[in-house]
Amino acid sequence: MARMAGTAARAEALLGLGVVSTTPVAGGDICTSTRLRLTDGRGAIIKTRPHPPEGFFEREAEGLRWLADADGAHVPHVLAVADDCLVLDWIEPGKPTTDVAERFGRALAATHQAGADVFGGDQDGFVGLAPLPNRPLPTWPEFFASRRVMPYVRAAVDRQALTGEEAATIEAAMRRIHDFAGPEEPPARIHGDLWSGNLVWGSDGNVWLIDPAAHGGHRETDLAMLALFGIPHLQRVIDAYDEATPLAAGWRDRVGLHQLHPLLVHATLFGGTYGARAAAAAQSLLDGKTS
């Protein structure tokens, strides 16, 4: 295998180990990922990006460590982090199976149950390259409306990805968010960007969490994100989760509420139909329809 000298040298400087070989890893439009084979026999992956936002890789590393501390869902070990890159253990991909899905559902429940001190966090973060405001608020509805939905309504309108009428519909839903939010729950320790691309179905029989936007939030947010773009054996994941830590009554009716933030982020970043989908989800809440 070819050895990419610059990438290898950066990893060697951070790890204090030699790099035997490097292999590009396909996928991902935010960072360049490269698999490393180290002189001690281990595999690793280095993520790099020229001129990333300040704190970009540091926030990711902190999120991974925080999720790992829950002793629930599996998280790759952070080997090194710097302003321009992040080095993690390599996770060998495997196949999605129902058994692995069940284990993941139970493990994710354990991660959420580890909890958080507040709704939010002590520092702002990122969802992809987009900013993620984390200044805490006392309740989840306040936090979700003020820190997740409304900043992206404004951003999507500015980028002409959301019409004034669509924005007004979402704003109306946020004014009534306490009607839709369900029973109060304490802050959960959530991944925050849990779509299928941020899961690795490992050859070891576990699902591994990567690329978090970790914060103290509502556990239904992670489950709604899984449903938004779909993952293999989703129902098995949900069933195992619900058996381990029962979901509050009516959680299915709240899926659309929890999907508002990722839909608005996508509208802001990519345009397309995401803004209209967010407005439709908000209208369904106002109409009293299930998602």
Residue 4: pLDDT band (50, 70, 90) is: low
**CATH class, 5-89 region:** alpha beta
Residue 26: pLDDT band (50, 70, 90) is: confident
Percent of the chain with pLDDT over 90: 94
**46 vs 13, 206, 208, 277, CA distance in Å?**
12, 21, 16, 35
Residue 184 pLDDT more than 80? Answer: yes
Q: What is the pLDDT of residue 53?
A: 95
Average pLDDT over residues 213-222: 98
Does residue 193 carry a catalytic annotation? yes
CB 271 within 8 A of CB 161: yes
Q: What is the pLDDT of residue 291?
A: 45
The pLDDT mean for the chain works out to 95
Question: What's the pTM?
Answer: 0.95
Domain range summary for the chain, segments of one domain joined by +:
5-89, 98-287
Q: What is the pLDDT of residue 1?
A: 42
- Euclidean distance between CA atoms 50 and 71, whole angstroms: 33
Q: What is the pLDDT of residue 287?
A: 94
Average pLDDT over residues 41-64: 96
Structure tokens at 291: 């998602």
Q: What is the pLDDT of residue 27?
A: 74
Q: What is the CATH number of domain 98-287?
A: 3.90.1200.10
Phi and psi for 23 in degrees, rounded to 5? Answer: -140, 125
Q: What is the pLDDT of residue 114?
A: 98
Catalytic residue among 193, 204, 211, 253: 193
Q: What is the pLDDT of residue 289?
A: 65
Residue 152 pLDDT more than 90? Answer: yes
